[in-house]
Amino acid sequence: MRTIIDTAKRLLFKNIACLLLLELLYKAGFFMIMIPVCRIAFRVSLKLSGFSYLTLENIAAFLRNPVTVISLIVILALSGFFLLLEFITLTIYYDFCEKEKKLSLEQILFPSIRRMIQLLKQKRNIVLLVTALVSSMFILFPLLAALLTQMKIPNYIFVSALNNRTFKAFILTFLILASLISYHQLFLIPLMVLENNSFRNAWKKSGYLKKGKHKQIILILIVWNLILILLYLILYYTILFLAAVITYNVTKREIVYIAFIKVYEQISFWVSIFVAMIAIEGNICIITSLYNKYRDRTISNDCVMKILQQMEQIRQKEQEYYEKRRIPFRNRYRKILAISGIIMIGVNFGYIYDSVRNGSNLKKESLLGIAVTAHRGASADAPENTIPALEKAIERMADYAEIDVQETKDGVVVLLHDSSLERTTNVSKKVWDVTYLELLEYDAGSWFSKEYEKTKIPTLSQALELCKGKINLNIEIKARNKDQSLVEKVVRLIEQYDFEQQCVITSTSYSVLTRVKELNPKIKTGYILAIAYGNFYNSEYADFFSVKSSFINENMVRLSHHLGKEVHAWTVNTKTELERMKQLGVNNIITDKPLLAKEILYKETKVTFLGLFKQLLEMTEP
Give the active site residues.
375, 417
Q: From the centroid of its chain, how far is CA 45?
A: 18
φ, ψ (nearest 5 deg) of residue 401: -120, 130
483: Cβ–Cβ under 8 A, 6 or more apart, which residues? 406, 407, 432
* Of 503, 569, 563, 557, nearest in space to 538 by CA: 563
d(CA 52, CA 65): 15
Contact yes or no for 545/529 (Cβ under 8 A)? yes
C-alpha separations of 52 from 31, 365, 584 in Å: 26, 10, 20
Taking Cα atoms as reference points, which of 134, 95, 138, 98 lies closest to residue 225? 138
Cα 266 from chain centre: 10
Nearest-angstrom CA–CA distance, 71 and 63: 10
**What are the φ/ψ torsions at residue 380 (nearest 5 degrees)?**
-85, -15
β-pairing, 413-415 vs 588-591, is unpaired
Q: Are 190 and 206 in contact (CB under 8 A)?
A: no
CA-CA distance, 335 to 337, in Å (whole number)? 5
Map residue 405 onto helix, strand or coil: strand
- Judge whether 234 and 594 are in contact, CB under 8 Å: no
Per the DSSP assignment, residues forming a β-bridge with 507 are: 527
Kindly state the helix (H) or strand (E) to which residue 367 belongs, with its residue range.
none
